[in-house]
Chain A
Amino acid sequence: MILEHLARMSDDLPALQIVAPLLAATICLIVRRARAAWAVAMVVAWGSFVNAGVLLHRVLANGTISYAEGGWRPPWGIELRIDLLNALVLLVVTGICAIVLTASPRSLDQEVRRENHHKFYALYLLCMTGLAGMTITGDAFNIFVFLEISSLSSYALIAQGTTRRALTSSIQYLVMGTIGGTFILLGIGMIYMVTGTLNIADMAVQLATVGPNRTVLVALACIGVGTGIKLAIFPLHIWLPNAYTYAPAIVTAFLAATATKVAYYVLVRFVYSIFGAPLAFGELRLDVVLMPLAIAAMFAGSFVAIFQDDIKRMLAYSSVAQIGYMVLGLSLASVSGLTGGLVHLFNHAIMKCGLFLVMAAVLLRAGSTRLEAFAGLGRRMPLTMAAFVVGGLSLIGVPLTVGFVSKWYLVMGALEAGLWPVAVLILLSSLLALIYVWRVVEVAYFRQAPDATPEIREAPASLLVPTWVLVGATVFFGVFTSLSVGLASAAARMLLRIDL
C-alpha cells in the first residue's frame, strides 16, 4: 500500500523540479531569517540535484520520460518531456544551483544587506524554477513563460550589486532580454500558425509535413534572434559584460553557468528537435549565419578580454568567446560537432562557475577584482589562486582538463566537415585565452604586493570547498570523459536522428 503510493509519487518527480523551488521561494519570503531561508533553499536545491540524477538514471534505463501535467494528455495538455539532451542540461543547472548556493552566505554577507537575504534566496529559487522549467518542458509556449520567470528574477538579482552600475546594467539587460523573449514568442506564434500545435514533439511532426515556406523561415529567424540575445551570441552580447561585472559575485557565478547554457539548450531544441537538421541546415542554411558569428565571437570575446583591467569583466568577455565555441558546435550539424557543443555546455558551466567563485573569494578577501588587487595573491591565497590556474588552463584547453575535451570534438567536427580553416581558428583563438589567463597568473605569482596592503588571508572554507569541487570536476571530467561525452554524443545522435 505504502510502496504503491511511493511508486506513484515517484512518477511525479519531473513536476517536483518546478513545483519545489517555486513553493520554496514563497517559504523563503515567509521565514524572513537569512539563515533559515538559506537552509530552505539548500534543501530544495540539493534535492533538485538528486532528483535530476534520478531522472537521468531513469532516462538512461527506460528512455524518454513523458509527464502529463494535471493529467491532460499531450499534445493537448502541457507535457514535461525529459530525454537524454535535457536530462543532461537539467543535471548541470541543478548541480550548479546547489553548489553556488552552498558557497553563497559568506560572499552575500559582504554584498547584500542581511535583512534582504531572504528575498535574495527567494529570487534565486524563482530563477532556478524558470531555468529548470525551460529545460524540461515539452511545450513551446511554456518555454516562453519559464524564460520570463527566470529572466525577471535574474534582472532583480543583478540589480542587487553593490555599485549603482548594477542598476544600469540590469535595465540594459532587461530591455535587451525582453526584446529577445518577445522575439521568441513571435517565433513560437508563427510555428503555431503553421502547425496548429504547441507541443514540441507534435510541432516537429507537423513541420516535417509542411516543409519550408516563408512563415517557417521567419519563425526560425525570430527564434534565432530571440535565443541569440539570451545566449549572448556575438554581436548580441552587449548586455553580458556589464551584467556579469556589476552583479554580486554569487549571482555572476550562478548566471554565467546556467542562464546562457539553458538559452543554448533552447536554441538546440528548436533547431534540431522542432525544425530538424534537414530543414534548418539543408533548406534554410542556418549554418551560413551562425558559423561566422561563432568564429567572430571566439576571437572578439577573447581579444577584448585581454585588455580588461577588471578580472570579473575579463571572464565575462571570455564567456562570450566560449559561447562562440558552443554555437560553432551547433552550426557544424554533425555528430562530432554537436557533441563538442553539448559537452562544452557541460564543461564551460563547471569551469566558468569555478572561476567566478574564485572571483567571489578574491572580492571577499582583497576587496576588489581589479588586476592590481591580484598582486601577491599567489602566496597569500594559495588554494584560491591554484583553483584559478586550473580553471584557466581549462579555458585555454590544456589536455587533462575539460576544455581540451570539448575543443577536441569541435576540431574533429570541423575536420570531418572538411573545414580545416575552422579547425585552425579554434586552435588560434585558444592562444588568445592563454594570453588573458597568463596576465592574471603573472600578477598573482610574480608581482609583490605593495607593502601598504593589509594582510590578506585564505578564503573561508565555505567558499573554497565548492570552488574546489568545481575545479576538481574540470580535471575529473577531463580525464574520465565517459559520463559527459557519452551523454552528449548520445544526445547528439538522438537530435540528428542517427540510431545508436
Chain B
Amino acid sequence: MLEGGLYPYWIVIFLMMTGLYVVISRDNLVKKIIGLNIFQVSVIMFYLAMGKVHGGTAPIEAAGITVYSNPLPHVLMLTAIVVGVATSALALSLVVRINEAYGTIEEDELRELEREEDE
C-alpha cells in the first residue's frame, strides 16, 4: 500500500486531465504538444506510483532488508520516456515545417487557410 493513501493517484488524474484539456482547448500547436507531454508524464507517474511498496527500499540486495520496491515499472518508464521524447521531437519538427509552409502555427488560422485552399 502507498504512503499517503491514494494521494499520488489524485495527482496523476489532475495532471492527466490538465494535459488533455490543454491538447483540446489550445489552438497553438506548440502548446498542444506541451499538453501532450503533460498527459504522457501523468501516465509515467502512474507507473512509478504503483511500483512503490510501503516501507520498501531501493531494490538492491543488502543484509537485513527484506522489503523492496518493485523496480520493473521504473524500467518500463525509461522506455516510455524515450518514446515521449521521440514524439515531441517529431512533433516539433513538423511544427517547424508547418510554420515554413503556412506562416502560422495557430490551428484556427491553419483551418482558415485550408478552407480558402479548398474553394
Contact = CB atoms under 8 A, between A and B. Distances in A.
B20 interface: yes
A275 interface: no
B101 A174 contact: no
Interface in B45-101: 46-47, 50, 72-73, 76, 79-80, 83, 86-87, 90-91, 94-95, 97-98, 101
A155 B89 CA distance: 12
Given A152-B90, A167-B94, A171-B95, A179 B79 contact: no
A178 B23 CA distance: 11
Contacts of B50: 189, 192-193
A189 B46 contact: yes
Interface in A165-218: 165, 167-168, 170-171, 174-175, 178-179, 181-182, 185-186, 189, 192-193, 198
Nearest to B83: A148
B98 A168 contact: yes
Contact of B91 (A141, A164, A171): A171
A490 to B, nearest CB: 34
Given A167-B94, A179-B23, A152 B29 contact: no
Given A159-B97, A164-B101, A167-B97, A174 B39 contact: no
A145 interface: yes
A186 B15 CA distance: 14
Contact of A174 (B91, B97, B102, B117): B91
Contacts of A165: 114, 117
A189 B76 CA distance: 10
A150 B80 CA distance: 15
Contacts of B47: 189
A274 interface: no
A181 B83 CA distance: 10
Contacts of B33: 175
A199 to B, nearest CB: 12
B17 interface: no
Dominant secondary structure at the A interface: helix
A152 B36 contact: no
Contact of B43 (A141, A174, A182, A198): A182
A462 to B, nearest CB: 30
Contacts of A179: 20, 23, 36, 39
B20 A167 contact: no
A144 B44 CA distance: 13
Given A148-B87, A155-B90, A171 B46 contact: no
A80 to B, nearest CB: 17
B32 A175 contact: yes
Contact of B36 (A144, A159, A167, A178): A178
Nearest to A193: B50
B59 to A, nearest CB: 15
Contacts of B114: 165, 168
Interface string B99-119: 001100000001000100100
A231 B95 CA distance: 25
A186 B43 contact: yes
A144 B83 CA distance: 10
Nearest to A156: B90
Nearest to A151: B87
Nearest to A242: B114
A97 to B, nearest CB: 22
A167 B101 contact: yes
A179, A181, A182 interface centre (most CB from chain B within 10 Å): A182
Contacts of B20: 179
Nearest to A172: B107
A156 B94 CA distance: 9
B89 to A, nearest CB: 9
Given A148-B83, A164-B102, A179-B23, 13 more contacts: A141-B79, A164-B101, A170-B94, A171-B29, A174-B87, A174-B90, A174-B94, A178-B40, A182-B39, A182-B43, A192-B73, A193-B50, A198-B72
